[in-house]
Structure formats: structure tokens, C-alpha cells
Chains A and B, each alone.
Chain A
Amino acid sequence: MSKRWTPILIPVLAVILGLLVGAVIIAISGYNPIVGYAQLWEGIFGDSYVIGESIRQITPYVLAGLAVAFAFKTGLFNIGVEGQLIVGWFAAVYVGISFDLPAYIHLPLAILAAGLAGAFWAFIPGILKAKLGVNEVVVTIMLNYTALHVTNALIRSIAKGDTTEQIAQTASLRIPFFEEITQYSRLHGGIFIAILTVIIIWFILEKTTLGYELKAAGFSQDASKYAGMNVPRNIVISMVISGFIAGLAGAMEGLGTFEYVSTKTAMTGIGFDGIAVAVLGGNNPIGVVFGAILFGALKYGSLNMPNPPAQIPEEMISVIIAVIIFFVASGYLFQWLYEKFSKKKGVK
């Protein structure tokens, strides 16, 4: 029984401990942790508006985390989710403003464009690794910067400014009903796409021969080759799927949250946070959803902490999130402690 519950028990324990340690840090810094956490709670669940915004924040995290987790399951470290997300965002908006189509074509087309753009961006490190053995970490990191500057240049050339026009409503993910029930937050329908993607990816990994091959390559390339699997091809497929998911995360921003794209001076950070989400979720598709909920909610809710009376600096929440990730990442420590305890009890 203990075995079955540890995957759930460890993150829960880690979160509780993270919050406790966070409270100590807040207290030491001269603030009131109880008031602070109360405001955090308010910032996430306080009214329908913040709930809507929290969910909106969670949506791209689900996809970014899923992209990282998927690649990781197959033995690849995709640090390029950020760049793939940025090109996906641009592609989605580009399709969103350039065509005049009925919604049932326009929206899927824009989403698909985002996915394909991300997939293409991930194909580059994939093929380099498969054919030449180039380390994907290095290439994906570099391509993040390339993505940032290339899209900035493209935006300037199509928009004659720093921001594009708004996408056509036929390409938007927004759902008026959602906006109405959440006091006009930016909550959009993307969360359904994120959940659907999670289910599809879970299915691919756990139930298909493709998933079997990709996981086999992740665990042991030698055994995969022995079994006649095409390992280089699988590396490319895996990167492309991961990039596609990352591109979808970009579509969430481009077609849902903002409905435009503007030049950026820095990375969005969502792609990098995706790594943390994947860790929190144990690189498991379902786990990623919980990781994203935790991460997204904390991230959004923390915006309420600097307000009076708590007046806790926003940076503090970054510390708490970091502490939580630290505890989850060192999950084996908990497992060890847990086993120690159960052993002691068992003997007596």
C-alpha cells in the first residue's frame, strides 16, 4: 500500500513543508506569515475573477510542463520549450490576423499553426541529435534566444510597431460565458485543449507502441537498438511532439490570454517554469496537471501578497515556490524518512 501512495504523498508533504519553511522565512523577514498566506488564498480563490485568472495562468503551465515531461520520459531534456512557445505564440497570432475564415476552421488552423511552429523549432535540435549526436540541451537553449529575436523581427515587419493588431474573433479561444461568470477575467477555453492534450499524451505514452518505443529509448538506447527500434527516428519524433505541445502553450497566450503578440525584451519564463512543473508532477502527464495547478495558482495568487496589510514582497513567493520544488526534487529524502518511520513501527 505504501508503494501506491508515495507518488501522491511526497508532493503533498513537500508542499506542506515548503509552506511551513516559507512561513518561517516570511516571519524572519519581519512580515506576518498568517496574514500573508490568507492574502495568497484570497488571491487564488477570493472571488470569481481571481479564480478565472488563476485558471488562465495554469493553462499554459499545463502544456509547458507536459512538453518537458514528455521529452524527459523519452530520455531527452528539452530546455527549448520557452523558444518553441514563443514561435508558437507568433504563428498562432499570425494566422489569427491574416485570414478571414469561419471560426470552426480558423481557430483549429491557428492552434495547429502554433503546434507546427513549435514542432519545427524542436525538430532542429532533434535532427541534430539524431544525425550528429549534438547535445540537445545546448541547442535548445540557444534556439530560445533565436526564437525571441526572430519573432521580434517578424513582429516588427508585419506590425510596423511593437505590437500586432488583435486577432480575428474567429480565431479566439475566449468564451463569452466564461468571461461573464468570472467578472470579465481573461479566462478562455484553452484549459480544455490543455486537458485534452494531457489525455492524448498520456494515452500515447502508456497505451501505444509509439509510447513503448519512446520510453524504451529513454531508459536504454542499447536495448532499443537491440530490439530493432529506430532510435534516431524516435529522438526526432519525441522532440517534435514535445515542441508541438510547447507550441500549443504559445497558442494559449496568443489566442486566449492576449489575442495579440508584441515584441519582447526577455523570455516569457513559462517555458522554464515548465521544467519546474514537470518536476513537481514527477514527469507524469497527470502529475503535470497538479504541478501546473500548484505552480500557476501560487504564481498568480502571490500577486495579492504585496497588498496591505501583509505587504510581503512578491519575490518572497518565488522563494517559497523554490523551496517547494526543492522538497519535491529531494523526494527520496521523504521516502527515506517515511521508510525509516514505518520500519520502526513495524518492528515494535
Chain B
Amino acid sequence: MDYVIEMLNITKVFGNFVANDNITLQLKKGEIHALLGENGAGKSTLMNVLFGLYQPDGGEIRVKGKSVKITDPNVANDLGIGMVHQHFMLVDTFTVTENIILGKEPKHGAGTIDIKSAAEEITRLSELYGLEVDPYAVVADISVGMQQRVEILKTLYRGADILIFDEPTASLTPQEIIELIDIMKKLISEGKSIILITHKLKEIMEVADRVTVIRRGKAIKTLNVAETNPTELASLMVGRDVVFKTEKKPANPKEEVLKVENLVVKDYRGVDKVKNLNLSVRRGEILGIAGVDGNGQTELIEAITGLRRVESGNITLVGKDITNLKPRKITETGLGHIPQDRHRHGLVLNFSVGENFVLQSYYHEPFSKIGVLQNREIYNYANKLIEEYDVRTQSAYEPARALSGGNQQKVIIGREIDRDPDLLIAAQPTRGLDVGAIEFIHKRLIEQRDNGKAVLLISFELDEVMNVSDRIAVIFDGQILDIVNPKETNEQELGLLMAGHKVDRDNHQQMLDQAVKKEGEE
């Protein structure tokens, strides 16, 4: 058999915790091999071993049949292995080109960097694989999707023919995901081989040839994708059956908790992003906000949570005017917030898991008394939440940095839900979570609702919005274009609305035709 990579009986231990237990993974030439497993199952760890970031404590790695020791990423690069990490590793203040060539700069005779020929090479690669980037843009200014293409180019520039993608779609919009899938197919047709980590079974079914399932550090099974189905994969990975569509009782909405009136918010460049937006969320309901990224969702959330200035308009929470109040005042009025970007906002990565659990409540009793932290209380509380939310960590004293991506997310979710806020804003709450955890989180959101609290859910995943919400508000160009009932709508209608075409329900078909025509004209 023609294997390009063979990881044989790999074991990796952290302290006395076995993250990879005797895992064998074989990658055929020209295949997309998916790696599936719960949060904290050890997927990233295994790939970091292959990329030379971690040294295995046991087992053997063979590249193209030859036994190798991958002592650091440079060795991996030389062997033709490239990795696109779960959390990007780019220098924000550098340009795209500078990031790509970093560490492998082409030089002029005099030893200065030959940016021009580098940019040319990058343009060549990006055309070959359909990876559209602007070589001279600064990374801080480009979209997440483009940052990812930069990461891919980085590996290709180094001559990689074996690519590792660690949850590449977790932070992408649906449109960007479609593009990425095309890119992956293109890479395969050019003779590359890919290992793909993802929690999205749909993606595995769509692009992967084979899949290896890992559970709690052990490889459970390797299957041909053609011979399996999402239900089987989910139960293999979690070890029990998973319900994809969460059951819920009909909503029982009561009085208004959040009222947004004529809201105007500018983005960081001073451009109006939320334009006269009106919105209301009531007790006992989950309002989902659907929309293409960049239509004002981020600014809307930041305005409600007090992280961004409101230009004009009003925000009322449980009957109190919270417009332009300080974040803490708003939090105390009754707001919980699961932020979109967990690394930037949701966690202090260098703090312990326990310290992160009290990030919003450290300053009041029982976690502190007269300004002195009560560590016993803090860690008792942390242990309670670790149990309840099934956070896979060695202990509450572990720095949040050491947790797997999905488990970091669980820490945030546990913290925010447990404060039992009147309004819970959940922005992409299940990003990077495994299907089992997603099911659990959806249940908790619905539970909040059933306890008479309000939930505002922002998500790019239509499945999620349609499954969990009681009403769906579609945001387009800084305004709520329409509010629809998830039971009476479908992906097609939502898709049109998200693209800015308002649908007249009595005249549905006619509008559909019109919209298609209009799109053609544009």
C-alpha cells in the first residue's frame, strides 16, 4: 500500500495524562483523511506530534516509507509536511507576503530580502490553487478566510505536499467553507495529500475519502467514508447515540427583556455598520440572528454589551436604559455574553481554568471578601462547573491555554450560563465543539429559555439557527430585514433574505424568480 504518512502506535503523555494512547494513522497518497473525535480527544496533539511541535513518548513515524524523527517543525517542512493550525499563527503587523516567506526569505545578492520575487511566487501559487490573497495587505486588515488562505500558502510556499488542516472551517462563514472545500479538492488533484480535522460530519461526508475516529486518546476505527454515515460516525466518536435535532417544547414568550430602538453603531473605521436597527427579545424565547458575516452582527453585539459606543438610538435591558453604560453595569443588569472570539475576549489564556470561571464574578462574594480572593470558593465552584459541563482538563489549576479548543469554549459557556442572566447573548456558541457537546449546549440554551430567560443567538450556521431558535431575525446591511418562524421557513428562503432579498410570503415563487433574475443582472 502506498502510504505517504504512517503514524504507528503513537503515544503522547502530558504529566500523567495520556493524550494519545497507541494511535495508528495511515495517510494514503492523494487522499483526504479526516480525523474525528470529541473535544480533547487528542486530535491536535497527534497532529502536533506529526508536525514536530511535540515529541512522541512512544511509537514510530514513517514518511513515504522511511522511518523519521521529526524533532521540530523545520524537519517537518523539509519532509514536505505543512500544517494549518486551529488558531492561526500569523504576525498581525506583517503583510501577507512577509508572513508567508517568514523564515524562508528569498534574498538579493547583497543579503536583503527580495520581496518582489517572493510576491511573484506567491501570486503563482495562489493562481495555481485558487487561493485568492492580496500579497501586500497587512494581515490585521484581512478577513479570517483570507488569513486562512495565507496559512495554506505558507505551507505550499515551503513545498509541502502533505497538508494538515486543524479545524479549518470552525471560524469560516458558509461561503468561505465552500471555497475552502474547492481549494482542498484542487490540492488533491495537484497530487497533495490532506489530513483534515473537523467536527462537521457534513464536511467529512462531502470531501473525505477515509476517516479515523479517536475517542479519549485512543483510535477507535478507520472507515471508508463511502461506507458510513453521519449517525454511525457520531455514535462511534461519542460512544453513544447523538440526536442531531434537539427536541423542545413550544416557546412561551412573556414580557420584553431586550429592546433595541433605532440603533446606529459605527465600526472601527468609523463607517456605520448598524443602521437604525430595531429588535426585541422576550422572556421565554430564543431569538436567532441569521446573516452573512459583516452585516453588523459584531457591532450589534458589542453595542449591547457595552464594548462599543452607540452613536444614536436606545438599548433597554429588563426595563432599564443601558445605552452606552460600562460593560460591568450592563453585565450586572442581567446580561451574559458568550463572545465570538474566545481567545481574544472570552478567556485570559494564562489564567487557570478556575480563575477563568470567575472572570465575571471574581469581585463579589463568595469569590472575594473585602478585596481578597477566596481561592477555596473559586476552585470549589470551578470543579462544580468542570463536572457539569464536562470540561476535559487535568485540573482546575491548569492554565486555560493547555485546554483543547472545544474545552476552552465549554469553560466560557459554563461561566456565562451559570450566572443565569436574564438575557444571554450567544455568539457562535458551538464553534469548534464536537457533536455531543453541541447537543448539550443546545439543550442548555433551551433550558434557559424554559426557565423564563431570554436568549439571543447569533450564528453563521443555518442548521443551528433553525434548530434552536423560536424566531429568526435576518440581519442585512445593518438592519433587521425580516423576522421569520423557523417552522415556516427553509434554507432557501433564509439564504435569499440573507442576501438582502425581502420575501413576500404570499407571492413567494414570483419573488424567487425575480431575485434570481436580479442576481443575474448584477
Query: In the bound complex, how far is the Cα of B330 from the Cα of A346, in angstroms?
Result: 53
Partner of A223, one of B57, B344, B363, B372: B344
Task: Give 1 or 0 for each of A126-168: 1 = CB within 8 Å of chain B CB.
Answer: 0000000000000000000000000000000000000000000
Would you call B337 and A209 a contact (CB within 8 A)? no
Would you mind naming 7 contact pairs between A and B with Cβ atoms under 8 Å apart?
Answer: A207-B375, A212-B362, A216-B359, A219-B351, A220-B347, A220-B350, A223-B359
Binding site for B on A (CB under 8 A): 3, 207-210, 212, 215-216, 219-220, 222-230, 343, 346-347
Would you call A210 and B371 a contact (CB within 8 A)? yes
Query: In the bound complex, how far is the Cα of B347 from the Cα of A225, in angstroms?
Result: 11
Task: Please tell me if B346 contacts chain A, counting CB pairs below 8 Å.
Answer: yes
Q: Which chain B residues lie closer than 8 Å to A216 at the CB level? A: 348, 351, 359
Instruction: Take A207-B372, A209-B368 as given contacts and tell me if A228 and B348 are in contact as well, using a CB distance cutoff of 8 Å.
Output: no
Q: Which chain B residues lie closer than 8 Å to A347 at the CB level? A: 57
Most buried by B among A212, A220, A224: A212
Would you call B55 and A343 a contact (CB within 8 A)? yes
Task: Give 1 or 0 for each of B340-377: 1 = CB within 8 Å of chain A CB.
Answer: 00001111111100010001101100001001110100
Query: In the bound complex, how far is the Cα of B57 from the Cα of A347, in angstroms?
Result: 7
Query: In the bound complex, how far is the Cα of B351 from the Cα of A270, in angstroms?
Result: 32
Interface residues in B425-462 (C-beta closer than 8 Å to A): none
> Closest 4 interchain pairs by CB?
A228-B328, A226-B345, A228-B327, A219-B350
Would you call A225 and B355 a contact (CB within 8 A)? no
Query: In the bound complex, how far is the Cα of B328 from the Cα of A220, in angstroms?
Result: 17
Closest chain-B Cβ to A117's Cβ sits at a distance in Å of 26
For the A-B complex with A212-B362, A226-B327, A228-B326 known, give 14 more contacts whose Cβ atoms are closer than 8 Å.
A208-B371, A208-B372, A209-B368, A209-B373, A219-B351, A220-B348, A223-B344, A223-B345, A226-B346, A227-B359, A227-B360, A228-B327, A228-B329, A343-B55
Q: Which chain A residues lie closer than 8 Å to B346 at the CB level? A: 223, 226
Query: In the bound complex, how far is the Cα of B359 from the Cα of A120, in angstroms?
Result: 31
Would you call B360 and A222 a contact (CB within 8 A)? no
Number of interchain pairs (Cβ within 8 Å): 67
Task: Give 1 or 0 for each of B289-322: 1 = CB within 8 Å of chain A CB.
Answer: 0000000000000000111000000000000000
Q: Which chain A residues lie closer than 8 Å to B344 at the CB level? A: 220, 222-223
Partner of B347, one of A208, A212, A223: A223
Q: Which chain B residues lie closer than 8 Å to A3 at the CB level? A: 15
Task: Please tell me if B393 contacts chain A, counting CB pairs below 8 Å.
Answer: no
Closest chain-B Cβ to A97's Cβ sits at a distance in Å of 37
Would you call B351 and A209 a contact (CB within 8 A)? no
Would you call B349 and A228 a contact (CB within 8 A)? no
Task: Please tell me if B284 contacts chain A, counting CB pairs below 8 Å.
Answer: no
Partner of B363, one of A207, A209, A215, A343: A209
Q: Which chain A residues lie closer than 8 Å to B331 at the CB level? A: 228
Task: Please tell me if B288 contacts chain A, counting CB pairs below 8 Å.
Answer: no
Task: Please tell me if B339 contacts chain A, counting CB pairs below 8 Å.
Answer: yes
Would you call B345 and A222 a contact (CB within 8 A)? yes
Most buried by B among A216, A222, A228, A347: A228
Would you call B337 and A226 a contact (CB within 8 A)? yes
